[in-house]
Chains A and B, each alone.
Chain A
Amino acid sequence: MSNLSVNHLLGIKYITKNDIQLILDTATNFKEVLNRPIKKVPSLRDLTVANLFFENSTRTRLSFELAQKRLSADVVNFSASSSSVKKGETLIDTVNNILAMKVDMVVMRHSSAGAAEFLSKKVNAKIVNAGDGAHEHPTQALLDAFSMREKLGDLKGKKIAIVGDILHSRVALSNIFCLQKMGAEVKVCGPTTLIPKYIESLGVKVETDLRKTLEWCDVANMLRIQLERQDIKFFPSIREYTMLYGLDKILLDSLSKKIIIMHPGPINRGVEITSDVADSDQSIILDQVENGVAVRMAVIFLLAGRQ
């Protein structure tokens, strides 16, 4: 167990429990580095990484870029809105053109599921998936697992609830794979229209009552309603969703135990969680963002270390 079993990070589905553990352990070392007066290490000074974001992102993109810069890698950024993609260039052509400029690693976010895997088969560079459609978002799942492990210790047997728009969420799918590989129990909760039809086949429990779910879990991961991916109405109104699935301080305080609240961001305050919950001492939302840099450093470091 000294290196990853894969050449690309395409999704949590494709990596082993040992890989996850190695990434989280390496991230612990990087977190210590990030708390030093000088936060930069020279490990990857010979590596060039391209960040290709065909979809909007704030956190993930900044986090990846910071991680790469902390490792002394050279970074080139690309966003679809200001590029030749608008002129009709295909994905493969775009990436091959970038690789022709001697880039060693590609971090990509794309609105189509499977885009990263497709790319990994066609081009000669290491690929890190930073989110592909509603499929996977592996680094988010890893940083969620890292943040939970920091608070709870070993995740084996812990109860994790994922609440909200499961249907359109890549975070949910990656989290389910990751948590199950770490030995945790997962329950998803949301309106039936936003829960994929055969999700039980992944071995997760399904619940439609938010209070029951929160009473059961140690950690609740509250997801955002992804209105941009919803072409039809899945629930009558945002207000109604909030009444049934929004988490407020009154509900949180009425629970029999103190649970941990997570959110992958961006938060719609007042929809899935209220401000007083997001800013409460049970929320580790900003820890997640902080840990994101360390986890992404670990992923890039370990992938770059593979011959």
Chain B
Amino acid sequence: MKPRVLLENKQLEVTLTRLCYQLIEVHNDFSNTVIIGLQPRGIYLAHRIQKLLEGILKKKVNCGDLDITFYRDDFRKKELIPNQTNIDFIIEDKNVILVDDVLFTGRTIRAGLDAMLAFGRPNDVELLVLVDRRFSRHVPIQAKYIGLVIDSIQTQNVKVEWTETDKKDRVTLIDK
């Protein structure tokens, strides 16, 4: 079956901008809030959000990359390659916004919550995702800020592409 396009170019930009204003509504000027993108694919969304927020707020917003390989619960069930963690700020007593592209089983986020604690005890943690595949959770985790909610089945894949790596901004639903 042909991949179904869920979000593209302008639409995606509108969605990202909306997410930014939703964040500003809660976090005001981001003076006590940081963004953490989950490796490998969440970091592009995180940096996109960071750039948009900096444009709107006209100030620097902290954004880091977090690798969760060593915290996964499916280690030894599949081959995992660690990525870089790059967090050059302290998250102790900060409000943290975890960012990932797709929320599916919730296991990645669970590992992310664990991994994050190695950098301090945050005041408050929220989750932002671009695509929420609802009704497919394995753990009780929900996102607070959601770009798009979709109904999908196990055999389908959601693919998020970014200009930075794939030459175009696009979200598609693919049958495996």
B-binding residues in A (CB < 8 A): 2-3, 26, 29, 32-33, 36-44, 71, 301, 304-305, 307
Contact = CB atoms under 8 A, between A and B. Distances in A.
B81 interface: yes
B82 interface: yes
B67 A29 contact: yes
B85 A32 contact: yes
Contact of B81 (A2, A33, A42, A44): A2
Given A2-B79, A2-B81, A37 B118 contact: yes
B162 interface: no
B119 interface: yes
A105 to B, nearest CB: 13
Task: Tell me what chain B mostly uses at the interface: helix, strand, loop, or mixed.
Answer: loop
Interface stretch (B15-23, B70-78, B124-132, B167-175): B70-78
Interface on chain A toward B: helix, strand, loop, or mixed SS?
A: loop
Interface string B76-92: 10011111110000000
Interface residues of B, number: 20
Contacts of B118: 33, 36-41
23 contacts: A2-B79, A3-B79, A26-B82, A29-B69, A29-B70, A29-B82, A29-B83, A33-B70, A33-B85, A36-B118, A37-B118, A37-B119, A37-B120, A38-B117, A38-B119, A41-B70, A41-B115, A41-B118, A42-B114, A43-B70, A43-B71, A304-B76, A305-B80
A36 B119 contact: yes
Contacts of B119: 36-38
Nearest to B115: A41
Given A36-B118, A42-B114, A307 B76 contact: yes
A29 B80 contact: no
Contact of B75 (A32, A33, A43): A43
Contacts of A36: 118-119
Interface in B55-107: 67, 69-72, 75-76, 79-85
A39 B85 CA distance: 13
Contacts of B79: 2-3, 305
B75 A305 contact: yes
A32 B152 CA distance: 37
Contact of A42 (B71, B76, B84, B85): B71
B34 to A, nearest CB: 16
A41 B72 CA distance: 10
B68 to A, nearest CB: 10
Contacts of A33: 70, 85, 118
Nearest to B87: A36
Nearest to B72: A43
Given A37-B119, A42-B71, A29 B85 contact: yes
A104 to B, nearest CB: 11
Interface hub of B75, B80, B85, B114 (most chain A Cβ within 10 A): B75
Contacts of B70: 29, 33, 41-43, 71, 301
Instruction: Please name the 4 residue pairs, one residue from A and one from B, whose CB atoms are nearest each other, closest first.
Output: A41-B70, A38-B118, A29-B82, A43-B70
